[in-house]
Amino acid sequence: MPSEFELIARFFARPCDAEPGVVAGPGDDCALLAPSAGSELAVSVDTSVVDVHFPQAAPAVAIGHRALAVALSDLAAMGARARWCALAATLPEADEAWLESFAAGFHALCRRSRVALVGGDVTRGPLSLSVTVHGEVPAGGALRRSGARAGDILAVTGTLGGGRGGLEAWQAGVRDLDDPLLRAYLLPEPRLAAGEALRELAHAAIDVSDGLLADLQHLCSASGVGASLAPEALPLADGLTARLGEAAAREAALAGGDDYELLVALPPEALPEAEHRLRALDLPLTPIGRLVAEPGIHGIGDAVRAAGWQHFPGGTP
C-alpha cells in the first residue's frame, strides 16, 4: 500500500514551478502565490461527496473532472480568470487504478482551464473531494449577483436540464459517457471563457447549480428586483424531451439543478455584443426573460410553478 506521500507524489502533485504566479507549489507547508498587480482574488470551495453529489460507480475520470468543474463554475460566475486550485481528497482506500483515472480527469481539466494544482491534503474516509479554487479579477470588476437592474435582459449560456436528465439516464442504466445527457451530468463544462467574455458587458451573473428558478431567485433578491420569465424560450438539453417527456423536461430545465451554466443580467444594448462574443466561443446565449421592478418571478405559470417547487424543493443539497 503506497504511503500518503507516495500517493501525493504519484497522483496529485505536479511540478508547477513554471506556472505563472506560483512561487512554491506542492511540497512545502503552504503554496506561495503571487496574484497579479491590480487584481482581486476570487476564492471558492466546493465539496463533492460520494452518493450525494455523484454516484459511487461513476467513472473515476468523471469524478475527478466534476469535482474541479463544479468549483471552477463559481469563478466563471464572477467573471474571474481561474489560476490555482487545492484538492483535499478523502479516500476510502488507495486503489491505484481508480486514482490514476481520477487524477487523469482532474489534471486534464486543470490543463484546459490553465489552473495549477498548488496543494492539498489526503486523508482516509468515505470518498469526498473538496476543491478550493482561486481566480483573479481586475479590482472592482467582478460580476456580482447584486448588480442586476430592472430592464436588464436575462440570458443563459448553453442548455438547461442536462444535469437532471443525465442523473435520470444514469439511474436508468445509461453508462456511455458520449451520451449528451450523461455528459452534462458527469462531465459539466465550467463556463470560464464565457464568464470572462461577459464580465464587462453584464450587470450580474450566477451559475445555475441549484436549478434556474432557485438561482434566479438568489440573483433577484441580491439585486432587489423581480424577473419575468419566458419558459417556452428555455434552451433544453439535447435529448431531454425524448428521455423525460415534455412536461418533465421543462421542469428539469427550471428546477433540476446541476447544470453549471451562467445566468446573466445584461443591459439590452449589450446583448448583440454578448451574443457575438459567445458565438466566437461556440456557445449559445439565449435570452429567457427580463428583470422587472416588481419582486417575484413572473410568467412561469401556476402549473409549472407548482410542479417545479413540489418535485424539486430547493434543488440539490
Which residues are at the interface with Mg ion (CB under 5 A)?
Answer: 121
Shortest distance in whole angstroms from residue 49 CB to ligand ADP: 16
Side chain identity, residue 166:
G
Told to check if 26 binds ligand ADP by CB under 6 A, we report yes
Shortest distance in whole angstroms from residue 123 CB to Mg ion: 8
Is residue 165 within 8 Å of 252, Cβ to Cβ? Answer: yes
Between 90 and 217, CB nearer to ligand ADP: 90
Shortest distance in whole angstroms from residue 15 CB to ligand ADP: 11
Say which entry of Mg ion, ligand ADP, none residue 12 contacts (CB below 5 to 8 A, set by partner kind). ligand ADP
Say which entry of ligand ADP, Mg ion, none residue 269 contacts (CB below 5 to 8 A, set by partner kind). none
Side chain identity, residue 217:
Q
Told to check if 240 binds ligand ADP by CB under 6 A, we report no
Side chain identity, residue 37:
A
Reading across the β-sheet that carries 39-49, which strands appear in turn?
39-49, 128-138, 81-91, 116-124
227: left (phi over 0), alpha (psi -120 to 50) or beta: beta
Q: Where are the beta strands (DSSP E) in the chain?
A: 22-24, 32-33, 39-49, 81-91, 116-124, 128-138, 153-157, 204-208, 226-229, 261-266, 285-292, 297-298
Shortest distance in whole angstroms from residue 97 CB to ligand ADP: 18
Shortest distance in whole angstroms from residue 11 CB to ligand ADP: 8
Stretch that binds ligand ADP, among 20-28, 48-56, 173-181, 289-297 (CB under 6 A): 20-28
Footprint of ligand ADP (CB under 6 A): 8, 12-13, 26-29, 87, 89, 117, 119-122
